[in-house]
Structure formats: structure tokens, C-alpha cells
Amino acid sequence: MAWLRFCCLGLGLLACRNPELEPGSIANSGVDIGALEVRATGVFVEKPSMRGLDAFQREVLYGGTQGFWAWSFDGGNSWRQTSIAGTESLDFRDVALLEPGQALLMAAGPGTASRLYRSADGGESWQLTWQAERPEAFWDAIAFWDQNRGLLFGDSLDGRFFLARSLDGGRSWQNLAPDSRPQALEGEHAFAASGLCLTVAGSESAWFATGGRVARVFSSRDGGESWTSTSVPIRHGEASQGIFALAFQDSKIGVAVGGDYQEPDNPAGTWAWTEDGGAHWQSGKGPGPSGYRSAVVALGQGRFVAVGPNGWDQSFDGGRSWQALGGDGFHTLAYSSSRGRIFAGGSEGRHLRR
């Protein structure tokens, strides 16, 4: 859902979305959002359930149920909020900010309910750029490396996960060849819970996560042309269990969160971490998140923040251990490193800026 843009900070260019430390390094940032109130700071009028979210510099974009979207151009102080005509039955589960005033909304649902809309004028108009055709299709997430190159990820078709690529900022899409789409096991699927089951880093790295019968992370180092899979020690076995979100601070250090959305207060098997880019995953020995988590973001220097229905948690050591923050429950998160802001979206139109 997020793409790696570059902006001028100080004397050079730094990746705004995922600040690149020396890959694999962890240092305590010294910042603790536990000192802040992690409670809703606003409610959108239509009160949608919001699952899609992206933030970059002064722009923030939400997507939700009832075809709802809300776009801010001043860091969340004011909002343009409405729905696209004829999309009131759609559920926008992921979004992507591309260039200023340009964005994508991804609807998730069975068959033709999975769609992509694109705006090039700050939401004044939207164009349907792609729509699933097969009734068994179900899209889960989008993610962009830059303003042009991105991936679309969905549940399996004909035994292989659905993957497509755009090279022109989402204006057009091409299905990846069958040999480039990994095989899914029976009963294995993804979760369109927050738009964070797919993530990218650098110029070629990508990861997506699954659940159900198994909990696996698939990694690519060549822009999605080939993938390797790794089992992850997160709760799985039932359709409601698995990995719901991934976050990487660089090409090596990453965190996976999830659990069982039908048991939101159960902390068992809700997180894992990697320090080698997803080749191996471990469950922490310290305290974990306080329950099922649907979203996680990397803040840099080994620090991650996760959220779910029953509140927030933070880690300062690359996901090995977690501290409970409490606060309101939310579905999805985004972090704008250029402005040092965390945004969250939840049910009944609740949103947060910190």
C-alpha cells in the first residue's frame, strides 16, 4: 500500500517511507508514543469502516466501506470525503498515494467487486482502471516501489496466488506469468484486513503474507518475478487465523503480526520477526502484542507499532518484545516519516493522527 518515495532531508536523499539504516541495524529511537493518547482524534461523517490508508508528506488518504474515501492535503487538518458514484456497495480495503494529487483505491470483494480506481486530480474524478473478471477472484492489497512500479496481490486462482504488475502508476496492469505466481496450499489465503499483507522495500524487494491452513511469508528480490516461501510461527490452522500484516524497516529487519480475528483478546501466536529479509522467522521470547493485530508499521531504528481491535503495542527491538499501550482499537495504520506522523483508521469512521 505504501511506496518508497525519495525526498530531500538535510544534505541528501533519504527514503521517506522506510528510512534506510544500514540494513539489519537496530538502535533505540528514544521515541515512545506511550506518552501520547492513542485515541481517535476524529470521526468521518459517513461512519464507514476504514481498512485502506496511506500517508506521505502532507497528503493522507483513507478508503472504507460504502465506497467511501477521504483525502487530506494538509496533513489531516481538513478532509475531502465522499464516495465514487455507483460504488456504494464496494469496500475499499487498500489505497496508494502516488504523486501529489494522484492516487489509487483498491476495492476487495468476490469477482467484479475487486476493482481499482485511479484519480489524477486530487479526487475530483476517478477512473475505473481494472476489474476482476473471474467470480472466484478476490484482491487483497497493492504496493508501489515508486510512482510507477507496483504490485497487486490477491487470493489464489487455479492453485496459484494472483499477482499483477503496473509500470505506469496503476493506469494499466499485466498479470504475472503463471511461473512467477507461487502455488497456494489448499485452505491457504490472505487477509484484506488493512492493506498490509503486501509490502515492498528498496527497488525490487517485496513480501506477501498468508493464513488459514498455514502461515507463510513469500519473498521476492527481483520485483516479483520469482518468490520463495517461509513458514512463520504465527497462529494458523483455521480460516480466521494467520498473518494479517507485514512491515519492514529495510531489506532485512521485518515484523509479521496477526493471530485469530475471532479471538481478538487472545495474544497467543500473534507476532514474529526476521533479521534476514524473511528467509527465517522467529517468535519473540519477550512479551508479545496484547491480542490479535491487523496492522503494523515500521518507524525505523528497530521500532514498530502494531494495532488491533483491543489497542496498541510498540516494540523497540525489531519486534522481539512488545509493550502494551492500550488506547482505542483500529484496523489499519500508516506512518509518514517525512512528517513524523502516525495515522490510523477504524470502525464507525474513527481516525487518528499522532
Q: What are the grid coordinates assigned to 34, written together?
A: 506511550
* Closest CA relative to residue 209, chosen from 173, 238, 182: 182
* pLDDT tens per residue, range 86-137: 999 999 999 999 999 999 999 999 999 999 999 999 999 999 999 999 999 9
Per DSSP, the three-state class of 267 is coil
Residue ranges in 215-320 assigned as alpha helix (H) = none
User: Which residues lie below 8 Å from residue 35, measured CB to CB, with a gap of 6+?
Assistant: none
The mean pLDDT of 30-49, rounded to a whole number, is 70
| pTM (2 d.p.) | 0.90
Q: What's residue 31's pLDDT?
A: 42
Measure Cα distances from 60 to 101, 170, 215 in Å: 11, 18, 31
Phi-psi region of 349 (alpha: psi -120 to 50; beta: other; left: phi over 0): left
* Mean pLDDT score across all residues of the chain: 90
% the chain with pLDDT above 90 = 84
Q: What's residue 222's pLDDT?
A: 96
CA–CA dist 7, 208 (Å, integer): 26
Q: Residues 316, 15, 108, 333: what is their CA dihedral angle, to the nearest 10 degrees?
A: 30
* pLDDT tens per residue, range 287-344: 999 999 999 999 999 999 999 999 999 999 999 999 999 899 999 999 998 888 999 9
CA–CA dist 318, 19 (Å, integer): 14
* Closest CA relative to residue 349, chosen from 330, 335, 336: 330
In the chain, the domains with their CATH numbers are 6-10+43-353 (2.130.10.10)
Measure Cα distances from 223 to 153, 176, 202, 258 in Å: 13, 11, 10, 25
